[in-house]
Amino acid sequence: MTATYSRPAPPPRISRNAAIAGGVVLFHVAVLWAIQSGLVQRVVEIVVPAEMISEIITPAAPQIPPAPPPPPAPKPPPSAPAPRPRAPTPAPAPRPVAVADPTPAPSAPVGVTAPQPPAPPIAAPAVPDAPPPAPPAPPAPPKIDLPSSDADYLQNPKPAYPPISKRLGEQGKVIIRVLIGADGLPQRAEVRTSSGFERLDKAATDTVMKWRYTPGKRNGVPETMWFAVPINFVLE
């Protein structure tokens, strides 16, 4: 016969939750036992609540320093002593007065004494008056040399007589006003006095605009100036 052996079954495992629940139950059981045995009452009797003592401390009032005393008032200056009254000065004794004798002495001169005239005032020495300063001399006027067209080296031709004016017998004197530059060349011309004939005036204007001139000068310096040029148209 064969014997059969069986292993014993392992003890059952206690779960974690069951262990926690068992611990809580044991704690409550221990508390109940302690209450019943009077252990808690003894602990309560031993623990005596401490008595709290409080005291309100009032802060001390701040000390205010006393105000400084006012400065002493200045003493008034000592007054000057009042002048003592002077003792009255005794009046001088009257002197004897001489009585004039109206009868003149036989040797005394008789006459009237006239007062001396005052001395004449002393005149201050006369100081000769200084002559007034001479006025400044006026500046000399500038020396002006007018332009000219009569110089031989200019070789200005004579004005041409218009043929129609010759046939019609037109003649007369024309004065042309010419603006001459510093280089001696005419810049502009205008009729100042007409001859009475337009052809003669135009011939004179064309002629002076073709001429050359000696420029005008101010204190020796050439300058642009106006110059009047007379031209006569006369039939022979």
Q: Is residue 26 pLDDT above 50, yes or no?
A: yes
Distances 124 to 118, 119, 120, 127, 149 between C-alpha atoms, Å: 18, 15, 12, 9, 73
> Residue 54: what pLDDT?
43
CA distance 179 to 225: 6
Q: What is the dihedral of CA 208, 214, 217, 221, to 10 degrees?
A: 130
Residue 81 vs residue 71, higher pLDDT: 71
Mean per-residue pLDDT for 125-147? 78
Instruction: Give 128 or 162, the one with higher predicted confidence.
Output: 162
User: Quick check: pTM over 0.85?
Assistant: no
Mean pLDDT (whole number) for 120-129 = 64
Mean pLDDT over 45-57 rounds to 44
> Does position 110 have pLDDT exceeding 90, yes or no?
no
Candidate from 90-94, 171-175, 203-207 with smallest mean pLDDT: 90-94
Mean pLDDT of 99-109: 52
Strand partners, 188: 179
With a cut of 60, say whether residue 73 has pLDDT above it.
Answer: yes
